[in-house]
Chain A
Amino acid sequence: MKKGFKTFLSFALAAAMIFGMTACGGNSGGGGEEAPAEEGKVFNIWCWNDEFQTRFNDYYPEVAEVAEDGSTTTLNDGTVVNWIIEPNEGNNYQNKLDEALLNQENADADSKVDMFLVEADYARKYTNSDATMNVADLGGVLDATSDQYDYTKEVVSDADGNVKGVSWQACPGLIAYRRSIAKEVLGSDDPETVQAAVADWDKFAETAQKMSDAGYKMLSGYDDTFRPFYNNDAAPFVEDGKTLNIDKNIMDWVAMTKDYTDKGYNNKTSLWSTEWAADQGKDAKVFCIPACTWEIDFTLTGNADPDETKDPEQSAWGDYAVCVGPVNWCWGGTWITAATGTDNPTLVADIMTKMTTDKDILKKIAVDKGDFVNSKSVIADLAANYEGNDFLGGQNHYALLSDAAAGLSLKIASPYDQGVIEKMQSSMKDYFDGNVDLDGAKANFETVIKELYPEIETVNWPE
């Protein structure tokens, strides 16, 4: 009896020791990155890259201090902003965010999601749910958005027309091209001349042939031309939650890209890969990249001038210019949404107002970063008075793109688009690379999309 008790005790002790040991570890593991939460509030922002974070740290007037490793930002009133950054690819950001939002009710105030960012490819998933707050319920934010581009509100409106998010940028698509190559092959680097050479897809192909003859590639990779086609789809990919309809535009993109690949018009890269990034540098032999306004600062500048020299001799700085391209399109944008259950609604409202409607701040962002900000009047002002962007060789891209921006639409956005687009691009890559025929690529796409979204029952391909 006594012996038994002793054993029990020693086991309990051992167990307690183990738990104590690991509990210590667990706590320090969790507490390391978080700031002390005694008085100042903790504000959690979820996002998938540092684009908004840098904008916020640079332009939000209440910012007092940014942590050395970028994990937190302290505001003037002592509130600590936690940046929770999850990679976007493969629906990873969505999955992790879903997990957090489903746990929102049980989470304590300091670990609740207060604000999260979404992109057009899946914005509807969240704006159609209760996870996001009505912007109208956040003080006067909605009234201040009257100057914003309509499409930026349309894509984050729920079925009843309630606006659920705001954005600081509009995202007209463009073709960014190398001035030096344009001069050599097309005789001029003037945006109008280049625009004439890429005015529609036939002209685009002719120019691609010219580039090829001169030893250049028209494009870097397969996915660059996807967005111009996709954005002009006739209908959303998924409307009833069960059927995925592939638009004819997508198949046009497939056919064109296969043709270009066989003719050697591209460098066979995939979006975001290091090879793709290298193709935007000084020594690259790639003429153009269909891109979007946010890419100018977010990827193009860094890839063209990795050392941040701003020196045309050492980098492709100043060797770029933009034109509108064969069609009008937009590529997403990033929306700020308020998470239901946030304990900082005032702060959310203030960030939304300052970062997306304050004209002075927006103008500064536009002038400093080349971002196409979400204010018709600021853009109109810049279109008339901006002296030009250094990186773009002094071009005023606002003047060029302001008309296009007015007509943008994201009506075709569905909650499934991120998965569909990624998987379409990766499945078709096998076809472009010659590893499978078109039917094989389609079959692989259907397999992988059903893995990703079990609720999708049928995939309809255009005739």
Chain B
Amino acid sequence: MDKKPSHARTVIAYIVLVILTILCLFFFYILIINCTRSHQQIQAGFSFLPGSSFSKNFNAVIHDAKLPVMSGIRNSLIVSGCCAVLSTYFSALTAYGLYAYNFKLKKPAFIFIMLILVMPTQVSAMGFINVITKMGMINTLYPLILPSVAAPAVFYFMYSYMQSSLPLELVEAARIDGSNEFRTFNRIVLPIMKPALAVQAIFAFVSNWNNYFIPALVLQENSKRTLPILIAMLRSADFLKFDMGKVYMLITIAIVPIIIVYIALSKYIVAGVALGGVKE
């Protein structure tokens, strides 16, 4: 009674899994195929085989000042890279501050961060635009980078990780050796936190790479824009005159690098999801 249904369940499980896998991969397959085909081929109908217009589409996308892809990639890299570094470093620092020290405002500070853990930035977007305009940071990349110093969700991850794998004895030992606190954090705590830092850096990088709402409000000039804004501009009627080969190519450029990095690091990322629980 026990074994037969189990067999049937295995079959069902595989069928469902295969369907979901196809669902997940199918769209990317079409994307990859279509970015190698010319506009006319795409309009003529779908094909399962790639075409030969990859380099033509690629060059067309690269050499179009209306959608400056190269500067878009560069801006996206700057913002995502800086955010990844800042949010992981300062979140670890904050977590360490609350984990390793005892001070009067420790508990209120912790409760405060936990309370704003999942507060979306959208609710203060209006004031945010106002404030950064007054600070002269509108249409620059700073307002997209600097706020990542305060990343409650990353903080929570770091804090949980410290609870499970940073024995305070280590810190004590460092103190006895005469290491000052800042040095202890950089030289002893950070290396222990490496796995957590790596996982959160990846998440921070990806979420900023994909971020659209705030950058679209902040960045006014074409040369400052990040990739998601360029993608959104594609949807505007003015650019639909575009050939579809170019459209698919730009989407490919926006998402394929992330997928490659993901596949390379998938083990850590999947494990990180399981560990984190909290994701912006």
Contact = CB atoms under 8 A, between A and B. Distances in A.
Real complex partners, A and B? yes
Contact of A32 (B223, B233, B241): B223
Contacts of B164: none
B236 A89 contact: yes
Contacts of B237: 87-89, 271-273
A28 B141 CA distance: 11
B78 A50 contact: no
A25 interface: yes
Contacts of A32: 68, 70-71, 74, 223
Interface string B223-260: 11000000001001111110110000000000000000
A25 B78 contact: yes
B180 A3 contact: yes
A407 interface: no
A48 to B, nearest CB: 6
A392 to B, nearest CB: 21
B86 A18 contact: yes
A14 to B, nearest CB: 9
Contacts of A96: 220
Contacts of A64: none
A29 B236 contact: no
B65 interface: yes
A33 B71 contact: yes
B142 A26 contact: yes
A302 interface: yes
A432 interface: no
Contact of B239 (A29, A87, A90): A87
A71 interface: yes
Contacts, number: 101
Contacts of A33: 65, 68, 71, 222-223
Measured as residues with beta carbon below 8 angstroms from the partner, the interface class of chain B is 35 or more
Interface string A1-12: 001001100100
Interface residues of A, number: 46
A277 interface: yes
Nearest to A96: B220
Interface in B186-229: 220-224
A41 B145 CA distance: 33
Given A22-B82, A69-B64, A306-B39, A29 B240 contact: no
Given A29-B71, A70-B64, A272-B240, A84 B141 contact: no
B182 interface: yes
Given A29-B74, A306-B39, A22 B145 contact: yes
A83 interface: yes
Given A10-B182, A32-B71, A33-B222, A26 B141 contact: yes
B240 A273 contact: yes
A6 B180 CA distance: 10
A99 B71 CA distance: 22
A26 B64 contact: no
Interface in B41-88: 43, 62-66, 68, 70-71, 74-75, 78, 82, 86
Interface string A25-39: 110111011100000
Contacts of A240: none
A38 B221 CA distance: 22
Given A25-B141, A48-B238, A87 B233 contact: yes
A272 B241 CA distance: 7
Interface in A34-88: 34, 48-50, 67-72, 83-88
A435 interface: no
Nearest to B242: A274
B184 interface: no
B64 A29 contact: no
A404 interface: no
Given A22-B142, A96-B220, A306-B40, 5 more contacts: A26-B141, A29-B224, A70-B63, A272-B237, A274-B240
Interface of A: 3, 6-7, 10, 18, 21-22, 25-26, 28-30, 32-34, 48-50, 67-72, 83-90, 92, 96, 99-100, 271-274, 277-278, 299, 302, 306-307
24 contacts: A18-B82, A30-B221, A32-B68, A32-B70, A32-B71, A33-B65, A50-B66, A67-B65, A69-B62, A70-B64, A83-B65, A87-B233, A87-B238, A89-B237, A272-B240, A272-B241, A273-B237, A274-B240, A274-B244, A277-B240, A278-B43, A299-B241, A302-B241, A307-B40
Interface of B: 39-40, 43, 62-66, 68, 70-71, 74-75, 78, 82, 86, 140-142, 145, 180, 182, 220-224, 233, 236-241, 243-244
